[in-house]
């Protein structure tokens, strides 16, 4: 009889709502029902954020100036 080399490995192939797991023994075991949902965030701030920041900084400056004149 001949000899054969044996090896083992594990890999996960993602695609769709489930995954396939191959553990290297010529069998593919399916795991179904897994689903990963994510919502990407906007990397660029919206113009409204700059407007709100400007109003907030202006209000802080106005309050600081008002307190400065009241103290004098």
Using left for φ > 0, alpha for ψ between -120 and 50, and beta otherwise, residue 33 falls in left
- Give the bridge partners for 23, in sequence order: none
Instruction: Give residue 60's pLDDT band: very low, low, confident or very high (50, 70, 90).
Output: very high
| Exposed / middle / buried, residue 6 (Cβ in 10 Å: 0-12, 13-18, 19+) | exposed
22 by Cβ neighbours in 10 Å (0-12 / 13-18 / 19+) ranks as middle
- From CA 66, how far away is CA 58, in angstroms rounded? 12
pTM above threshold 0.75: no
What are the sequence ranges of the domains in the chain? 11-36+45-71
pLDDT tens-digit map of 26-37: 555 555 554 556
pLDDT digits (tens, 9 = 90+) for 37-53: 667 776 777 889 899 99
């Amino acid at each position: 009889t001949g000899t054969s080399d044996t090896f083992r490995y594990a890999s996960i192939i993602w695609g769709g709502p489930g995954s396939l797991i191959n553990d290297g023994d010529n069998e593919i075991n399916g795991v179904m029902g897994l689903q990963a949902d994510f919502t990407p965030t906007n990397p660029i701030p919206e113009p409204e954020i700059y407007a709100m920041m400007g109003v907030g900084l202006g209000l802080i400056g106005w309050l600081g100036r008002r307190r400065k004149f009241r103290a004098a």
